[in-house]
Structure 1
Amino acid sequence: MIAYPIDPAELIARIEQEKPGWLARARDRKDAYAQARAYVEGGEFWGEIKGVYIALQHEKCAYCEMKLAGKAYAAKVHEVEHFRPKSRLRAWPGDIKRLKGYTPPCATGGASATGYYLHAYNPFNYAIACTRCNSSLKSDYFPVRGTRNFREEDAGLLRSEDPLLVYPIAGLDVDPAELITFIGVLAVPVHAAGPLYERAEVTIRFFDLNHEDLTTRRAEVIAALYLALRGKELAADAADIRDFSDGIARYLSPATGFSACAAAYYALYQKDRSLAVQIGREAQKLLPR
């Protein structure tokens, strides 16, 4: 995961530019849900501003960082993710088969029949996610360490719930890089213990960030970055050095898939060259043949 920094006022401005009048309609819908005290299905229109988040997130999933198709195919591959589920909530990990026997490092909150209905049309409750992360994994789970607050309308103030997942947009939460880093292709907590460790551990488990589907793709990035770094060191021609430097910059760009993993590998390469070389060579072995 990476942060997608944007001033909250700028995000609101982009939404209004993308779909004039959307914000007013969203307020009306929120008021209707407040009166009903529940999310009422039908006539959903959050997809109308999907393009704002696609552009902000560089066409990447907010959670696994997989690069998705462009805006032209948004309806097929980009899903509007409600960070806090808009209707019911299930207790996590519950009876999820892949987590059988797993004990979370802290409390993760109970279930709810209504969920965060006041945030169904809150722009600061949206992100773009792939089908794997949004529909298959996140679904209607939202683990929190504290007490759920279904009455608060300000997403920024909901940090009092002590959520265990990370919202990466608009600076409303901690930078994911403060919680999760990478050792080779594996996502690991930055901290060894404490609340930040617990958030990282739960997030990694929740989104199955070390599944082979993702580690194989990270191996491709590390292998390519390793070759670019080594190539730059060995190159004698100025043009070749520039080409390798440009390649390195592309892998580290937030617009590139799995850039958080690339950044961690790059930092390791500067700090511990021999270990980085070993990991780079191992990454090449993981590539499909």
Structure 2
Amino acid sequence: MIFIDRQEVISKLPEGWQAKAKTVTDALLAADGLAARKKIIGENEELWRSIKGVLAKVGHQKCWYCEASEVRSDNAVDHFRPKGRVSGEVHDGYWWLAFDVKNYRFACTFCNSRRHGDGGTTGGKADHFPLAAGSLRADGPLVPISVEIPLLLDPCDYVDTTAVWFDETGQVKVNPAVEAVEENVSLRVSISRTLYHLDHVRLIEARKRVFLEVLQMCDRADEALAAYKTTQNSTARNLFHESINALKRMKKEDSPYSAVAKCAVRGYRGSSPSAKLIAEAS
């Protein structure tokens, strides 16, 4: 999971989009009853679909939840807080946020919809939006969503994005650094792993490949560095620099599973001078 800046999304919206969204939202607020609101939402779905390309571009064409691009097929505009209903709750959904761009997340099929995956896994956010025990839930536009303590990790919250860690097997773990300062982190990572279907076999395999590729590149850089120190050979020096450049590219947010690459580098920095160099670089 990489951090997505909502302000960047807003800055890229087409001219007039926000005015249209406000007009529809005003109609929703004035609507008489659930049926009328559903009709308005249904008639204006194209409004959020029209900015799918903007959301994709800001997220480097990757799912905001899992970083998958081609591995997990179609992508959609997910309403982080469900617009129609909340699973397991007597709640009409966060209908007043249906056309609020800050509530949109670019999501792959397996993160957004309930799906069965390889190996017997099942996941998909759908209309789930669990809250921490004792948390209030906003049930209308007069109650600010700030009263809520969500259990789902949010890619638009930087602290949330740092909570997820990955190991050499491609599995999702809890970042111990975040666990030390934030309550409910283990629970939130566990619930997010399930609802975003982060344990989908193909996704795990893709993360594992990236993790191992990073370790191999670190080893290659270390070997080249050692050879250069011994021989002062320019070929070894160039190989070291090329390997470091490759590692830097793998950490860039537009690279496949860049969060995994960052975890691999950080986890290897105690053993590898090259990993230490890249981990500490800006």
Counterparts in 2 of 1:243 and 1:272: CA distance versus 1, 3 Å: closer
Is it true that 1:43 corresponds to 2:44 in the alignment?
Answer: yes
Q: Classify 1:178/1:43 alpha carbon distance in 2 versus 1 (closer, same or farther; 3 Å).
A: closer
Structure-1-length-normalised TM-score: 0.75
- How many residue pairs get aligned? The number is 239
Q: 8, 11, 25: which one pairs with 2:9?
A: 11
Q: Does 1:148 align with 2:137?
A: yes
- Residue of structure 2 equivalent to 1:161: 148
Q: Equivalents in 2 of 1:119, 1:39: separation in Å?
A: 13
Q: Which moved more, 1:122-131 or 1:229-238?
A: 229-238
Query: For residues 84-126 of structure 1, what are the alpha-carbon distances to aligned partners after superposition, in whole Å with 9 as ceiling and x for unaligned?
Result: 11112212xxxxxxxxxxxxxxxxxx242x2011111101001
8 Å contact from structure 1 (residues 182, 261) kept in 2 = yes
- Give me the whole-angstrom Cα distance separating, in 2, the residues matched to 1:50 and 1:207: 19
In the alignment, the residues of structure 2 paired with residue 120 and residue 252 of structure 1 have an alpha-carbon distance, to the nearest angstrom, of 34
Larger Rg, first or second structure (1 or 2): 2
State the match for 1:56 in structure 2.
58
The 3-state SS of whatever aligns with 1:175 is helix
1:1-289 equivalences under 5 Å are 1-5=1-5, 8=7, 10-15=8-13, 19-36=14-31, 37=33, 38-40=37-39, 41-44=42-45, 45-68=47-70, 77-91=74-88, 110-112=89-91, 114-136=92-114, 137-145=124-132, 146-152=135-141, 157-169=144-156, 173-184=157-168, 185-190=170-175, 191=179, 194-235=183-224, 236=228, 237-272=236-271
* Structure-2 residue corresponding to 1:102: none
Counterpart amino acid of residue 116 in structure 1 = Y
1:216-267 residue CA offsets vs partner (Å, 9 max, x unmatched): 0011101211121111111242221222112111211111122112111110
Tell me the distance in 1 between the aligned counterparts of 2:70 and 2:99: 24
**Structure 2, gaps ≥5 residues long:** 115-123, 229-235, 276-282
Q: Which amino acid aligns with 1:178?
A: T
Separation of aligned partners in 2, 1:231 and 1:207? 35
Distance 2:24 2:70 in 1: 30
C-alpha RMSD over aligned residues: 2.3
CA distance in 2, matches of 1:63, 1:153: 29
| % identical equivalent positions | 28
Between the aligned partners of 1:205 and 1:127, the Cα distance in structure 2 is 17
- Structure 2 length-normalised TM: 0.77
Q: Provide closer, same or farther for how the CA distance between residues 177 and 271 of structure 1 changes in structure 2, counting only shifts above 3 A.
A: farther
Distance 1:167 1:153 in 2: 23
Q: Which has the higher contact order (CA 8 A, sep 6+)?
A: 1
Distance of 1:259 and 1:89 partners within structure 2: 32
